[in-house]
Structure 1
C-alpha cells in the first residue's frame, strides 16, 4: 500500500489488485454523469456560463469578501446549487460568516494537527463509488474515536479536510456522496462528548456551508445508544436530511441494496478484496492537497486585523498554484 503517480502526475493510493483511492478533478466526460448534470442540476453550457457570470458579479459586489473566481472553484458551489447563482453565493457567504463565528476552530489548524485522527482510522474514503456514482466516505465514530487523543477542534478539522477536498471533484458535485457512519463499540462517554453546541455547529456547517450533495447516511453497527445519539442530533437536522438517514446496524444487505456490493469491503459483506487504506498513508496522501485546505481557510470575509489586498493576493496565488498542479 503506497502513494504513486499516474501518467498525468496525479497522485493516488495503490491498494493492490487494481484498487486505488484518488481525487478526480478532470472535467466530466462520462455520458451518464453529463446526462445527470443536465437532468438534475440544469447544467448546459449556456446556463453554466450565465451562472458563472452572475456569481462573479455577486462576489465582486460583496464588500470585504475575498473568494477565488476561477471557473473551477465557482463550479464547486454552482453544481450542488443547481446553477442558481444566488443560492451558490448564499452558501459562500454562509461559510465565510461561519469561519468568523467559530474562529477558534480555524486557528492554528493544519493537516499535521489531525495526524492522530487519520492514524486512528477515523475517516476513510472507499476506493470505488457506489452504483449511483456517489463518492463513499466512512466515519468510524465508535472504536476509532479516542477522546483522550482527539478534541473537537481536531475532529472538525479532519472532517473539513475530507469533505472540502472531495467537494472540488466535478463528478462528486454531480453524483453526490454516500456516508457510512460506523458506530461499532460507541459508548456513552463518546455520545456525551458530542455536546449540543458542537453538534449544532457540525450540522449547520454540513447543511448550510459545505457545497456537497449528501444523498445517503447509513448508520451501521449501532447499539441501543443510537436512540440517545439520534435524540441529540435530530433537533438540528432538516427534514430533507432526516429522510436520507438509514439505520442499518448489521443488516448489510441494506447497504448492498442502495450502494451495490462491488463498492463495499468485507467488513460490510461486500466484494472488495483488499484492506482499507492505512491511516498514515491516507494522511500522507491528503498532505499533497494542503494548498486546497489553505485556500479554503484563507478565503472569506476580511477581518479587522487583515489587509484586503494582502488577503486577495494570497487567495489568488493559492488558486493559481492549485490549478497549475491538478489535472482539470
Structure 2
C-alpha cells in the first residue's frame, strides 16, 4: 500500500508537494529554518534531564510543526505533554494497542473518515451520544482510544502540517452518558486537548446535541481557554451550517454530505493501527524521565 493512500492507512513518511508549500507559508518550514530549529530543539531537549523523549529529526518535527518552528515553544509543549502524561500515568503509561482492540473494533466511539476534507485534513468523529455505551466502554477507556488515535495522527507528516478537524456527535445523548462525563473526566480531556495535544486542531464541530447537552456544556465551558473556544462551532442538526466548514462533497450522508452513509469504523481501521503497535508501546514510556 502506498503511503499516499488515505483510506484505512496511516501515511508514514509521505508529504505532498502541496503540503510542503503550506508548511512553508503557515509554519515557516523552510530547509534553513527546519535544520536550525531541529538542532536547537535537540540541544534544549538534551539540557532538560526531566524529559524523556526521542531526539531524531522526525520526532522533533512533530513538536516543531505544532509550534511554527520556534524551538523554545516546542520545548514548552514537550514539557506540557510530559506533565500531562505524568499526571495521568494510570491512563497513558503502558498503553497497548492490542489491549484496546475489542473496544476499538466494537465500541465505535471513535471513527476517522476514510477521506480527507477539501483542505486535505483528517476528520475525526467522536460519538458521545447513544452510540457510546458506558457499560461497555468506560469514560477512561474512551479517553485511551482518543489518546491512541492522536498518536496515529502524529505519525502522519501531512496531518502534522494540515491539522485535524473533530466532529463531536452527541446524537441520542441521555443521562446514561451524561453521568459518565464527570468533572474529572472533562478536566482530563480538556487538559489533554489544550496542553498536551501536539497537533494543529483546526476546528471542533458540535453536532446533533440535544437539550441535555447543556448540562455537559455548563461544566466544560469554564475550563475552555479562549484559543479552543474560538474553534468550537455549534451546529445542532443544521447540516448546512457544518457545510460552511466542510464541503458536502467531502461529508457522508450522516452529516448532510454527498458521500455514502458511514458503514465502516474500528474494524476497518484496526489493521492500519495494529501495524504501529510497537510505536505506541514505545510512546507509552516517553514523557517524564521520572514517573
Match for residue 243 of structure 2 among 227, 235, 256: 256
Tell me which residue corresponds to 1:189: 176
**Displacement after TM superposition at 1:117 (Å):** 4.3
1:24 aligns with 2:24: no
Tell me which residue corresponds to 1:199: 186
On the 8 A contact 1:126/1:276 being kept in 2, the answer is no
- Matched position secondary structure for 1:257: coil
On the 8 A contact 2:64/2:74 being kept in 1, the answer is yes
1:117-196, aligned counterparts within 5 Å? 117-196=104-183
1:40-189, aligned counterparts within 5 Å? 40-107=26-93, 109-114=95-100, 115-189=102-176
**Displacement after TM superposition at 1:64 (Å):** 4.1
Measure, in 2, the Cα distance between the counterparts of 1:199 and 1:118.
24
- Shift in alpha-carbon separation, 1:11–1:172, aligned structure 2, 3 A: closer
**Displacement after TM superposition at 1:54 (Å):** 0.8
On the 8 A contact 1:220/1:249 being kept in 2, the answer is yes
Measure, in 2, the Cα distance between the counterparts of 1:104 and 1:11.
35
Tell me which residue corresponds to 1:212: 199
Tell me which residue corresponds to 1:228: 215
- Shift in alpha-carbon separation, 1:29–1:282, aligned structure 2, 3 A: closer
**Displacement after TM superposition at 1:239 (Å):** 0.7
Measure, in 2, the Cα distance between the counterparts of 1:247 and 1:303.
41
On the 8 A contact 2:93/2:284 being kept in 1, the answer is no
**Displacement after TM superposition at 1:106 (Å):** 2.7
Measure, in 1, the Cα distance between the counterparts of 2:28 and 2:258.
35
Tell me which residue corresponds to 1:322: none
Measure, in 1, the Cα distance between the counterparts of 2:151 and 2:97.
13
Measure, in 2, the Cα distance between the counterparts of 1:257 and 1:64.
45
- Shift in alpha-carbon separation, 1:110–1:11, aligned structure 2, 3 A: farther
- Shift in alpha-carbon separation, 1:120–1:219, aligned structure 2, 3 A: same
- The RMSD of aligned alpha carbons is 1.9
Instruction: Write out per-residue CA displacement over residues 195-242 of structure 1, whole angstroms, 9 at most, x where no aligned residue.
Output: 112211111111111211111111111111222221111111111111
Tell me which residue corresponds to 1:278: 265
Runs of 5+ in structure 2 lacking a partner? none
**Displacement after TM superposition at 1:174 (Å):** 1.4
Measure, in 2, the Cα distance between the counterparts of 1:39 and 1:282.
32
**Displacement after TM superposition at 1:40 (Å):** 1.4
**Displacement after TM superposition at 1:180 (Å):** 0.6
Q: How many residues align?
A: 290
Runs of 5+ in structure 1 lacking a partner? 1-5, 13-18, 305-328
Higher CA-based Rg: 1
Tell me which residue corresponds to 2:288: 301
TM-score (norm 2): 0.93
Measure, in 1, the Cα distance between the counterparts of 2:92 and 2:151.
14
Runs of 4+ in 1 over 3 A off after TM superposition: none
